[in-house]
Amino acid sequence: LALSATMAAAAAAAASTSTYTSQCESAPPPANEEAQATAKIENDDDEAVDPYDNLPEEDEPTHCSICLTYRQGPCRPYWRKVEACTKDNELKKDDEEKAEEGDNDTDKKSSDSNEEGQEEEEADPPCLKYMLPWIDCASGFRNLYNLIELDTNYTMGVADLEKEASKNLCWAASSTPPLDLSAWVAYRQDNPDWKLPVTEHSESPEHASLWKTLDQSKDPVVVEVKATVELMEGEGVLECAYAQDQDGNLIGFQYGTKPSEAFDTEKKEEGEEGEEEAKKESTVTLKIRILPHRTQTVTIAAAYTQPPSDDQQKESKDLKKDSSFRSFIFKSKPIVLDQVQLPKEVEKEEEGESS
């Protein structure tokens, strides 16, 4: 938790994306060995040995989402040093606090604390020399790490959600969440020679994660589009919204509301001014990342959870069974990217070139 809090701000800055990103300059080369990360770290003492040069290859178990994301990909060597340094300094800080608690001299303790506070304000954070190379690397691979985050944190959860859903339904054309494709249209205008990518069949018997099939030496081109998904579908509350490509790869994810919290809130606001508050936030925005050279289609999906009815709860209670929430998965029809309507001017230019 301490590591997550320390790195959250830096990770957010490193992982932010623009609506349409095209890398004109080459990204930092991937580092395959821990020694390459050391080359970017400036030591005050040239003869000093970096304590994190030879970290164990096997990572410690963790539930830290930032750690799980950056332990993978080209920035792994830099991140592992940040993680190890942060952990060591947290342990050191805990030991110092315990030592201070055993000091009975209150005046001396207060004086020392003030002096240490002034020194901490002036001195750089102890792990700064490791954080800067990591931030530099992550900034050069923003799009790649957005894909890694999607795969690491949400892919398995979505698979379990679809497997356990009570029903899998398809939105009617009139009910499909509106999708803002203006960024995609702009990309097509800037790249008139774009063609729908051909499906690549992998020889691997297992389905590889999308990001693992990409060139790790540069940041992939990504076009970000946005869908607007309703928080309510009938009596169901949105648990999460997500998007998939033609191969089922996750290319977008957004949480909705926890079912238990949503229905508890509804009961509390019943008869009060809850309706006005509900209207203010009736939708969520789902960011979808299109890879022009890999993505053929986009499918929008959403999981809605419906609580058991009063009759179902009564029946379950009589039979001494647990009444549970029911989950429904709604999906749109696949949106084929080369069939997205372009402005008439662009269409005429493309027709002229083809003729």
CB distance 129 to 51 below 8 Å: no
Q: What pLDDT was estimated at residue 48?
A: 75
Residue 210 tokens read as 């999308």
**pLDDT tens profile 241-300:** 999 999 999 999 999 986 556 555 555 555 455 555 555 579 999 999 999 999 999 999
pLDDT by residue (tens digit) across 201-228?
554 445 679 999 999 999 999 999 999 9
* Closest C-alpha among 173, 183, 164 to residue 223: 183
Residue corresponding to tokens 């050279």? 293
Q: What is the pTM of this model?
A: 0.74
Q: How confident is residue 156, by pLDDT bands cut at 50, 70 and 90?
A: very high
Q: Beta-carbon neighbour count of residue 66 at 10 Å?
A: 24
Q: What is the pLDDT of residue 20?
A: 57
Q: How far apart are CA 248 and CA 208, in angstroms?
A: 11
Cβ-count burial 327-348 (b if 16+ within 10 Å, e if not): bbbbbbeebebeeeebeeeeee
Are the beta carbons of 265 and 164 closer than 8 angstroms? no
- Tell me: pLDDT of 184 over 50: yes
> What average pLDDT does the segment 2-7 reach?
55
CA distances from 306 to 52, 323, 327 (A): 50, 12, 6
SS3 call for 280: helix
Condensed to tens digits (0 to 9), the pLDDT of residues 296-355 reads 999 999 999 987 766 655 655 555 445 567 889 999 999 999 999 888 755 555 555 655
pLDDT band at 13 (very low <50, low <70, confident <90, very high): very low
User: How many Å apart are CA 236 and CA 282, to the nearest integer?
Assistant: 13
- pLDDT at site 118: 54
pLDDT in tens, 258-268: 655 655 555 55
Q: Which two tokens stand for residue 42?
A: 């400036």
Distance of CA 231 to the CA centre of its chain: 20
DSSP 131-165: HHHHHHHHHHTHHHHHHHHHHHHHHHHHHHHHHH-
| Residue 91: band (very low, low, confident or very high) from pLDDT cuts 50, 70, 90 | confident
The pLDDT of residue 154 is above 60: yes
- Over residues 52-56, the mean pLDDT reads 92
Structure confidence at residue 92 (pLDDT): 75
**Cβ neighbours around 233 below 10 Å, total:** 19
